[in-house]
Amino acid sequence: MAAPPGLRQSGTTLTLERVSSPSFPAIRMRRTRAAPWSRALHAETRLAPTDLIWPLFVREGSGLEGEPIPTLPGVSRWSVQGIAERAQEAAALGIPCVALFPNTPRELRSPDGAEALDADNLVCRAIRAAKDAAPQVGVLTDVALDPYTSHGHDGVIDARGRVLNDETCERLVAQALNQAAAGCDVVAPSDMMDGRIGLIRAALESEGHQDVQIMAYAAKYASAFYGPFRDAVGASGVLKGDKRGYQMDPANAREALREVALDVAEGADSVMVKPGLPYLDVVARVRDRFDLPVFAYAVSGEYAMIEAAAAADMGDRDALVLETLLAFKRAGATGVLTYHAAHAARLLG
């Protein structure tokens, strides 16, 4: 039997013939990969602490001790005083921005989420503390009613439990103004109501907050990856039903481009895709189509997956963290919201 093409037979041994093709051996892809200096020089994508936004949970009470969140091992809820310390830590690590999420005490939650409009609520106090402690660090706050409603939805509901769009938008506008008055730098509407970006932009302009940015959660999917976050803000126990009536269907990507186009037209300064890793195709398509900054949120369930793998000895935590964050950059993200921000910044530092 003749040896297959490219192989030479002698006795029972087959050896590779020295073949050449139009590309090989002239082109050897491994040349530029061979040495660390060369890999460093040829990297198309780089990750730095300045790519990161650090989400932080705020609790009532005093003390600098973090309150652990069982489903988010390594992440804690901090007192207002603790948030000030975290903001300083962000500054020291070169992280440009923190995102604040309150765990509102049960007794302050109501059907209409009125606590969101209180000028002295938990998140407003945390904004002031963070800006006092580290004025150079950006403070981003979520605009949505779920940490404040007794039913756990992002808006107000009717008798049948449907989230009412226009009534909710009115409250979101007031919530955004409340956060802006407390001194936040970026409001990030995460509620997925229609028309809210334009309404919030107009209100910020007319109330003297023209420099407050809007980062629109433009393509936010109804995802199973938000579970630990809902534990962290105390919404899991209270949420009735699901959010599929307003958050996007994971089946859809073209619809995400329509969502982004609308938020751009309404005045968003930047847009976000969320969750992150399972939706990198959406990040890449948004990056291709639009010229404004696009952020991705590596959500709580994504964080939990890496931590669970590392805890079970099924992966190298540091390597998983850095590789996933780099993947966001490769897909075209301007930056990433990640609970691993401080850890990653330390690794990169």
Residue numbers annotated as active site: 220, 274
Query: Mask: binding to ligand PBG, 188-227, rule CB under 6 A, as x and -?
Result: --xx----------------------------------x-
CB atoms within 10 A of CB 127: 28
Judged by CB under 6 A, which stretch of 43-51, 117-125, 142-150, 179-187 contacts ligand PBG? 142-150
Structure tokens, 251: 């089946």
For residues 168 and 190, which CB has a smaller minimum distance to ligand PBG in the complex?
A: 190
Task: By CB under 6 A, tell whether 307 contacts ligand PBG.
Answer: no
For residues 129 and 299, which CB has a smaller minimum distance to ligand PBG in the complex?
A: 299
Nearest distance, CB of residue 245 and ligand PBG, angstroms: 12
Instruction: Show contacts with ligand PBG in window 154-183 (CB under 6 A).
Output: 154
> Exactly one of 146, 185, 259, 263 binds ligand PBG (CB under 6 A); which one?
146
C-alpha–C-alpha distance, residues 275 and 247, integer Å: 11
For residues 133 and 191, which CB has a smaller minimum distance to ligand PBG in the complex?
A: 191
Cα dihedral 152, 228, 185, 136 in deg (nearest 10): 150
Judged by CB under 6 A, which stretch of 63-71, 108-116, 140-148, 327-335 contacts ligand PBG? 140-148
Instruction: Show contacts with ligand PBG in window 75-114 (CB under 6 A).
Output: none
Instruction: Show contacts with ligand PBG in window 267-306 (CB under 6 A).
Output: 299-300
For residues 133 and 193, which CB has a smaller minimum distance to ligand PBG in the complex?
A: 193
Q: Does residue 272 sit in helix, strand or coil?
A: strand
For residues 79 and 300, which CB has a smaller minimum distance to ligand PBG in the complex?
A: 300
The residue count for the chain: 349
Structure tokens, 134: 């580290």
For residues 183 and 227, which CB has a smaller minimum distance to ligand PBG in the complex?
A: 227
Look up residue 185 and give its DSSP letter.
S
For residues 144 and 187, which CB has a smaller minimum distance to ligand PBG in the complex?
A: 144
Cα dihedral 212, 217, 219, 222 in deg (nearest 10): -170
> Exactly one of 229, 246, 279, 328 binds ligand PBG (CB under 6 A); which one?
229
Taking CB atoms, the residue at the shortest distance from ligand PBG is 229
- 259 is an annotated ligand-binding site residue: yes
Residue 334 has φ and ψ, to the nearest 5°, of -75, -35
> Exactly one of 52, 126, 137, 144 binds ligand PBG (CB under 6 A); which one?
144
C-alpha–C-alpha distance, residues 110 and 106, integer Å: 9
Nearest distance, CB of residue 254 and ligand PBG, angstroms: 22
Residue 5 has φ and ψ, to the nearest 5°, of -55, 140
- From 63, 89, 45, 79, select the one nearest 343 (Cα to Cα): 89
CA atoms within 13 A on the CB side of 344: 25
Judged by CB under 6 A, which stretch of 30-38, 84-92, 110-118, 139-147 contacts ligand PBG? 139-147
Nearest distance, CB of residue 191 and ligand PBG, angstroms: 6
Nearest distance, CB of residue 235 and ligand PBG, angstroms: 7
Cα dihedral 239, 125, 173, 252 in deg (nearest 10): -50
Sign of the alpha-carbon torsion through 46, 47, 49, 52: positive
Residue 238 has φ and ψ, to the nearest 5°, of -100, -20
CB atoms within 10 A of CB 315: 17
Pair 154, 144: CB distance under 8 Å = yes
Report, in angstroms and rounded to the nearest whole number, the Rg of the chain calculated over CA atoms: 24
Nearest distance, CB of residue 287 and ligand PBG, angstroms: 21
**Across the strands, what pairs with 221?**
248
Contact residues for ligand PBG, defined by CB under 6 A:
142, 144, 146, 154, 190-191, 226, 229-230, 243, 299-300
List, as residue ranges, the binding site for Mg(2+). Answer: 259
List, as residue ranges, the binding site. Answer: 259
